[in-house]
Amino acid sequence: MSYNTVLENQQRQPLDHLDSVWLFGYGSLIYKTDFPFLQKKPALIYGWQRRFWQGSHDHRGTPEHPGRVATLIEAANQRCVGMAYEVTPDVFAHLDHREKNGYLRFFTEFAWLDGSGTVEGLVYVAGPDNEAYLGQASELEIAEHIARSVGPSGPNSEYLLKLATALRQLNTTDEHVFAIEKALLALHR
């Protein structure tokens, strides 16, 4: 079931009083920048790891057959590499709609990948308490699920493969993403 979080995000965190906000992207926000930004920088956040445990009923799947997309789960001594964008608050009208299926935004600290410092910014996370959450599964089960899922934004496999490519371009390793990618490619042999 789709879980629309647009109003909840806007009510929880009005941003009108800010000139700009940093946003951390760890999934499709790394490679699909369909929004204006002032600047972008590779970044990472500590205490989190990327997992394909969130259902996509509106982009990479349908309400009847949701796809699987990335979310973050808390994990001590872990880090997640992604891309940070400095944006103006008006961009969140689009981003809140794009990330509406169970994702809530909150402020957290992230560090620049080049080691030049940290910044407070927003990240969207779809936690286990949202209706679209699919939960843990093996990398093979996730790959099989992704292989058969298609939605209005295209095949679920495209999301995974573009994310894996983007992570390599950031010179980072994500064992979870790369294991799913390997399993998915093996299914297509």
Of 60, 23, 184, 48, nearest in space to 127 by CA: 48
pLDDT of residue 4: 84
Please state, for a pLDDT cut of 70, what percent of the chain lies above it: 99
pLDDT at 16 over 90: no
For the cut 60, the answer to whether the pLDDT of residue 2 exceeds it is no
pLDDT at 125 over 80: yes
Question: What is the tens place of the pLDDT at every residue in 82-109?
Answer: 999 999 999 999 999 999 999 999 999 9
pLDDT tens digits along 23-32 = 999 999 999 9
Residues 6 or more apart whose Cβ sits within 8 Å of residue 180: 52, 139, 142, 143, 146, 160
* Token pair listed for 138: 């093996």
Position 13 scores a pLDDT of: 79
Beta bridge partners of 68: 55
Task: List, in order of start, the domains of the chain with CATH numbers.
Answer: 6-184 (3.10.490.10)
Q: Is 23 in contact with 96 (CB distance < 8 Å)?
A: no
Which residue matches tokens 């608050």? 89
Integer Cα distance of 24 and 108 in angstroms: 9
Query: In this predicted structure, what is the pLDDT of residue 1?
Result: 42
* Residues 184 and 159 sit within 8 Å (Cβ to Cβ): no
Strand partners, 154: 151
Annotated catalytic residues are 99
Please report the pLDDT score of residue 81 as a whole number.
98
Surface-to-core class of residue 177, CB atoms within 10 Å of its CB (0-12 exposed, 13-18 middle, 19+ buried): buried
Residue 188, pLDDT score: 79
Per-residue pLDDT for 113 more than 50?
Answer: yes
Q: Closest by alpha carbon to 86, among 19, 172, 177?
A: 19
How does the average pLDDT of the chain come out, rounded? 94
Rounded CA-CA distance 123/81 in Å is: 12
